[in-house]
């Protein structure tokens, strides 16, 4: 990787020599087809290039699935459901998933490098968070496959059939695992569409599916842009739709499936409040704020993008935050010392810039971490907006980038009111040393995941998902398994 | 000498009060044979919006009541309904044209449905929630909570009291507040039920009952941004897919139509809940 990409901290404090992870572990194809019925096949749309967001260099050519290709994939999934997967014992389904978990662990380094190359996230995150959680997800749900009677739907719950799954570009392989692991454990077959800019690891996963000798057609992967996803979720032979992405697209999907009886899970946008009380452990809180919004360049639906800090400690927290942010290293995602990687696409970078400019125009005080921006690729330095008003667009809209809005409050009641003052309701953070206060505030926050004295923690055993316009359904845990099952007595249409 | 009876004026139930429709409209309720029974208020868009405002204002207080308390309030409804058994039998016989025995069975069933759901108030969280063994030093708990304001189209055409209770009780038990459009042809027992609710310690605004045309009112509720969930159980004869599409604009939770009177089920309670997962750090000692 080019030397000019080596991460630097602007202070010169603890500058390290470049330590890039080698890409020699990757054996990528020049071009990738669609993965249908156990084999890679040609797509009938115009192929597109996947580029590294850090260098804008070409990685591989990816096929585009047309509606006709989607038809073929859904038919393969239906055949596999009817003829093999639904006839297999739960124990055997589980064994296949255990195999996949082990294969992911065996190929962990390769997957992490591919993910950082294609997505732009720092290798320390793909290596230490994304890929280990992928393996954990398959391992967790593998064990459920022969215990479905305990999933909470009564005895002998049934699979739904064919699941259409559309995932975003922020955690490409991890979102794939969140979708495929519970679906297969419950006995469904799947057709999954990765995001256009991050198809690579899904296609490597297809190789893992082959190595695990999963019956043909149980997992199908169709690549392409929005139209491919639209064709997939609208396909009449699909029984379940699972989508993670923007609230705007989630709305379109909810409309498209209205009246079809398809079961739907939607994980959509967020505008999480991270509430810091004056009795919080400040050092931990500052780390938590940084992790909350700068983890994965802020490309996190549950990112703590609104810092609500108690007025009396505002100056101290913001000062310490700036000091801490000045030590973050931005640069080569494959460098082991990198804290902040590349923005995933030019399009996303433009959106972050636009909203940040609006924030400034609306009167918020902008501060940018002093770091060197590489010449090529898509980058955005960690940015804080202070004195943000609740009506400002940067306090209301999801930016999906490394941009933190700072607001203040005086009383717990005001913090709760401001935190809930959003149509979203995905996540929230609370920082205080007083347990009784944390529990009381957690009770009143309208959000699906609440982190107290921590942030951005994920676990396959722990249900994740939103209130209000952040979507419906849960992923993770027993609840996430139930989203792929039906009981004989299930309430019709209940989501 | 025969005494001249005093008939009741049937109105709406909004925010704990019994207003007429702001539109001033009423429609005729007849017996099964077509004889005049009463005039019912024909709720308007504004009435529906007023009902949502009342429901929103009452929701947090109802959700914050202890589960034990909500269970007792629901049980109290059953007690008062039992006390008015004869009145509901008369009303159902007149309105639905059913036999005394059938009407009595319906009232019995409605009472028992309240009792069944009352018992769930302090149990559904245990059954549907979970303690999660995450891989790290965290206390991790998932609990279902009420979704918020639920708009309901009650079952239409038969068993008007039981139908209403069968959709109302499961939405209420977890702490949601409700705006419900009653059976259009047989709304009288719904308004009499409102009298029971008003005297059963159900806080005003927690249940709001509209009478009138579901086809006219439901679209406003489906599109209302302050409604969190839409129960279309009784909307099978309406353009319900359009209602579901309107509800998608604010990503409401939607329960699709079901013929007849829905059975008692935990699923129906959980359809109007959200799972909240709380992570709390544990000290490393």
Task: Point out the residue among B134, B245, B257 whose CB comes nearest to the CB of A255.
Answer: B245
How many angstroms away from the CA of A304 is the closest CA of chain B?
A: 15
Catalytic residue among A301, A302, A371, A469: A301
Per-residue pLDDT at A185: 98
pLDDT at residue B192, as a whole number? 97
* No. of helices (H) and no. of strands (E), chain A: 16, 20
Q: Are A459 and B136 a contacting pair at CB < 8 A?
A: yes
User: Does pLDDT of A6 surpass 80?
Assistant: no
Three-state SS letters, A169-205: CCCHHHHHHHHHHHHHHCCCEEEEECCCCCCHHHHHH
Q: What residue of A is the nearest CA neighbor of B282?
A: A453
Distance CA A277, CA B61 (A): 25
For residue A468, is pLDDT > 80? Answer: yes
Where is pLDDT greater, at A10 or B67? B67
A489 — contact with chain B (CB < 8 Å)? yes
Handedness of CA A129, A131, A134, A136 (dihedral sign): negative
pLDDT recorded at residue A389 = 95
A255 in B contact zone (CB under 8 Å): yes
A340 touches chain B (CB under 8 A): no
Residues of chain A in contact with residue B228, where contact means CB-CB under 8 angstroms, are 468
The ipTM value here is: 0.94
What token pair was written down for A300?
């996190």
Euclidean distance between CA atoms A281 and A430, whole angstroms: 11
How confident is the model over A196-219, as a mean pLDDT?
A: 98
Residue A15 confidence (pLDDT) = 75
On the CB side of A278, CA atoms within 13 Å amount to 11
Residue among B199, B201, B218 at smallest CA distance from B47: B218
Average pLDDT on B242-264 reads: 97
Hey, are the CB atoms on A459 and B142 less than 8 Å from each other? no
A:461-480 residues touching chain B, CB 8 A cutoff: 461-465, 467-469, 471-472, 474, 477-479
Res. A487 pLDDT band, cuts 50 70 90: confident
Query: Which pLDDT band, with edges at 50, 70 and 90, does B156 fall under?
Result: very high
d(CA A408, CA B247) in angstroms, rounded, equals 34
Yes or no, beta carbons of A459 and B256 under 8 Å apart? no
Q: What per-residue confidence (pLDDT) applies to A494?
A: 42
CB-based burial of residue A448 (10 Å sphere; 0-12 exposed, 13-18 middle, 19+ buried)? buried
A positions 422-461 inside 8 Å of B (CB): 423, 425, 435, 438, 442, 446-454, 457, 459, 461
Residues of A in contact with B240 (CB under 8 A): 259
Cα nearest neighbour of B273 on chain A: A467
Tokens standing for residue A203 = 């296609």
Instruction: Name the residue in chain A with its Cα closest to that of B227.
Output: A468
CB nearest B275 (choices: A423, A463, A493): A463
CA–CA gap between residue A73 and residue A238 (Å, rounded): 11
Q: How far is CA B20 from CA B24, B42, B183, B213, in A?
A: 7, 9, 18, 15
Distance CA B181, CA B177 (A): 14
Distance of CA A492 to the CA centre of its chain: 30
DSSP three-state, residue B33: coil
Contacts of A78 (CB under 8 A, 6+ apart): A161, A162, A189, A237
DSSP string, A99-142: HHHHHHHHTHHHHHHHHHHHH---HHHIIIIIHHHHHHHHHHHH
pLDDT digits over B92-135, tens only? 999 999 999 999 999 999 999 999 999 999 999 999 999 999 99
Give the per-residue pLDDT at A421: 96
The runs of H, that is alpha helices, within A168-306 are 172-185, 200-211, 226-234, 247-257, 282-294
Interface test with B, best of A463, A490, A494 (most B CBs within 10 A): A494
Under 8 Å CB pairs connecting chains A and B tally to 133
Verify whether the Cβ–Cβ distance B130 to A477 is below 8 Å: yes
Q: Identify the band that residue A5 occupies on the pLDDT scale cut at 50, 70 and 90.
A: low
DSSP one-letter string for B91-159:
HHHHHH---HHHHHHHHHHHHHHHHHHHHHTTTHHHHH-EE---SSSEEEEEEEEE-SEEEEE---SS-
Name the packing angle between helices B188-198 and B85-96 (round to 10°).
Answer: 160
pLDDT tens-digit map of A349-406 = 999 999 999 999 999 999 999 989 999 999 999 999 999 999 999 999 999 999 999 9
Question: Which residues in chain A have Cβ-Cβ distances shorter than 8 Å to B275?
Answer: 448, 463, 465, 474, 479
- At residue A310, the 3 state secondary structure works out as strand
Hey, is the C-beta of A230 within 8 angstroms of any chain B C-beta?
Answer: no
Chain B CB contacts of A255 below 8 Å: 245, 248
* Amino acid A437: pLDDT: 98
Phi, psi values for residue B178, rounded to 5°: -135, 140
Whether A261 has its CB under 8 Å from any CB of chain B: the answer is: yes
- State the SS3 of B154-217: CCCCCCHHHHHHHHHHHHHHCCCEEEEECCCCCCHHHHHHHHHHHCCCCCCCCEEEECCCHHHH
A164 CB-near residues (< 8 Å, 6+ apart): A74, A190, A191, A232, A233, A235, A238, A240, A241, A242
Of B140, B250, B256, the CB nearest to A462: B140
pLDDT in tens, A402-448: 999 999 999 999 999 999 999 999 999 999 999 999 999 999 999 99
With H, G, I as helix, E, B as strand and everything else as coil, classify residue A483: coil
Q: For residue A16, name the pLDDT band (cuts at 50, 70, 90).
A: confident
**Is B209 within 8 Å of B193 (Cβ atoms)?**
yes
How far apart (Å, rounded) are the C-alpha atoms in residues A240 and A244?
Answer: 13
Q: Would residue A267 show up in a list of annotated catalytic residues for this protein? A: yes
| Helix (H), strand (E) at residue A159 | strand A158-159
Whether A17 has its CB under 8 Å from any CB of chain B: the answer is no
Q: Which of B249, B267, B278 sits opposite A491 (nearest CB)?
A: B267
Per DSSP bridges, beta strands A383-386 and A365-368 are: antiparallel
Test A266 with B251 for CB contact under 8 angstroms.
yes
Q: Assess whether pLDDT exceeds 50 at residue A18.
A: yes
Instruction: Please tell me which residue in A267, A398, A469, A475 is annotated as part of the active site.
Output: A267
Q: Beta B229-231 vs B149-153: how paired, if at all?
A: parallel
Residue A165, both tokens: 């799954």
pLDDT digits (tens, 9 = 90+) for B32-82: 999 999 999 999 999 999 999 999 999 999 999 999 999 999 999 999 999
What percentage of chain B has pLDDT greater than the value 70? 100
- Please tell me which of the candidates A259, A438, A465 has its beta carbon nearest to residue B241: A259
CA distance B157 to chain A (A): 20
Structure tokens at B66: 């202890």
For chain B, what is the radius of gyration of the CA atoms?
A: 20
- Reported as a pLDDT band with limits 50, 70 and 90, residue A490 is very low
A140 touches chain B (CB under 8 A): no
Mean pLDDT of chain A: 95
The two structure tokens encoding residue B64: 């914050």
Task: Decide if A405 contacts A304 (C-beta within 8 A).
Answer: no
* Sign of the C-alpha dihedral computed for residues A432, A434, A435 and A440 taken in this order: negative
Give the per-residue pLDDT at A493. Answer: 45
A146–chain B nearest CA distance, Å: 19
- Strand pairing of B177-181 and B149-153? parallel
Q: Is the pLDDT of residue A4 over 60?
A: no
A20 interfacial to chain B (CB closer than 8 Å): no
* Chain A residues in contact with B255 (beta carbon < 8 A): 491-495
Alpha carbon distances (Å) from B184 to A45, A81, A122, B159, B189: 53, 44, 61, 12, 11
């Amino acid at each position: 990787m080019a030397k000019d990409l080596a991460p630097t901290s602007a202070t010169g404090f603890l500058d390290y020599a470049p330590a890039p992870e080698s890409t020699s572990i990757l054996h990528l194809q020049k071009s990738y087809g669609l993965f249908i019925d156990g084999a890679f096949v040609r797509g009938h749309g115009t192929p597109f290039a996947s580029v590294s967001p850090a260098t804008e260099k070409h990685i591989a050519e990816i096929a585009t699935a047309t509606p006709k290709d989607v038809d073929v994939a859904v038919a393969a999934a239906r055949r596999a459901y009817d003829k093999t997967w639904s006839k297999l014992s739960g124990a055997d389904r589980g064994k296949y998933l255990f195999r996949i978990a082990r294969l992911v662990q065996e190929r962990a380094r390769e997957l992490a490098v591919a993910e950082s190359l294609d997505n732009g996230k720092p290798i320390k995150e793909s290596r230490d968070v994304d890929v280990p959680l992928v393996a954990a997800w398959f391992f967790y749900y593998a064990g459920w496959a022969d215990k479905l009677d305990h999933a909470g739907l009564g005895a002998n719950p049934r699979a739904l059939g064919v699941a259409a799954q559309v995932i975003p570009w922020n955690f490409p392989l991890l979102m794939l695992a969140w979708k495929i692991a519970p679906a297969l454990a419950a006995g469904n077959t799947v057709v999954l569409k990765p995001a256009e800019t991050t198809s690579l690891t899904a296609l490597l996963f297809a190789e893992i599916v082959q190595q695990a000798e999963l019956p043909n057609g149980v997992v199908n992967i169709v690549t392409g842009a929005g139209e491919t996803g639209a064709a997939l979720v609208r396909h009449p032979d699909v029984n379940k739709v699972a989508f993670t992405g923007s609230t705007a697209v989630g709305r379109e999907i909810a409309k498209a499936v209205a009246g079809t009886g398809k079961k739907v899970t939607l994980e959509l946008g967020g505008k999480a409040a991270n509430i810091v009380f004056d009795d919080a452990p400040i050092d931990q809180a500052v780390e938590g704020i940084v992790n909350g919004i700068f983890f994965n360049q802020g490309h996190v639906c549950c990112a703590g993008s609104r810092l609500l800090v108690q007025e009396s400690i505002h100056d101290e927290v913001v000062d310490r935050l700036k000091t801490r942010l000045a030590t973050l290293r931005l640069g080569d995602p494959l460098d082991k010392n990198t804290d902040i990687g590349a923005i995933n696409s030019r399009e996303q970078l433009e959106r972050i810039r636009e909203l940040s400019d609006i924030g400034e125009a609306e009167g918020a005080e902008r501060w940018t971490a002093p770091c060197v921006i590489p010449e090529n690729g898509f980058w955005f330095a960690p940015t804080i907006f202070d004195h943000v008003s609740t009506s400002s667009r940067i306090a209301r809209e999801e930016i999906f980038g490394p941009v933190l809005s700072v607001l203040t409050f005086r009383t717990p009641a005001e913090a709760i009111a401001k935190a809930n003052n959003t149509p979203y309701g995905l996540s929230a953070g609370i920082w205080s040393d007083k347990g009784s206060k944390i529990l009381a505030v957690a009770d009143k926050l309208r959000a699906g995941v609440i982190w107290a004295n921590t942030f951005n923690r994920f676990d396959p055993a722990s249900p994740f998902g939103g209130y209000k316009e952040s979507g419906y359904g849960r992923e993770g845990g027993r609840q996430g398994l139930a989203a792929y099952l039906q009981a004989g007595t299930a309430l019709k249409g209940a989501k | 000498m025969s005494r001249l009876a005093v008939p009741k004026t049937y109105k709406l139930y909004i925010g704990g009060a019994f207003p007429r429709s702001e539109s001033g409209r009423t429609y005729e309720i007849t017996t099964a044979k077509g004889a005049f029974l009463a005039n019912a208020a024909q709720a308007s868009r504004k009435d529906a919006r007023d009902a949502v405002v009342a429901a929103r204002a009452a929701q947090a207080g109802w959700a914050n009541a202890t589960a034990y308390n909500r269970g007792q309030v629901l049980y109290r409804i059953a007690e008062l309904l039992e006390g008015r058994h004869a009145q509901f039998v008369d009303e159902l016989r007149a309105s639905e044209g059913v036999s005394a025995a059938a009407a009595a069975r319906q009232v019995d069933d409605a009472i028992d449905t309240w009792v069944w759901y009352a018992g769930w108030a302090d149990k559904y969280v245990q059954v549907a929630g979970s303690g999660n063994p995450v891989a790290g030093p965290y206390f991790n708990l998932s609990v279902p909570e009420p979704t918020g304001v639920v708009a309901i189209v009650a079952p239409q055409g038969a068993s008007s009291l039981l139908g209403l209770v069968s959709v109302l009780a499961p939405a209420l038990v977890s702490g949601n507040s409700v705006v419900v459009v009653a059976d259009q042809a047989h709304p009288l027992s719904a308004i009499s039920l409102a009298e029971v609710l008003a005297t059963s310690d159900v806080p005003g605004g927690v249940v709001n009952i509209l009478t009138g045309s579901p086809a006219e009112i439901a679209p406003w509720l489906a599109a209302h941004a302050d409604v969190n969930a839409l129960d279309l159980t009784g909307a099978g004869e309406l353009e319900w897919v359009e209602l579901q599409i309107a509800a998608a604009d604010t990503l409401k939770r939607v329960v699709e139509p079901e013929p007849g009177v829905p059975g008692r089920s935990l699923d129906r309670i959980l359809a109007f809940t959200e799972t909240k997962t709380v992570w709390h750090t544990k000290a490393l000692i």
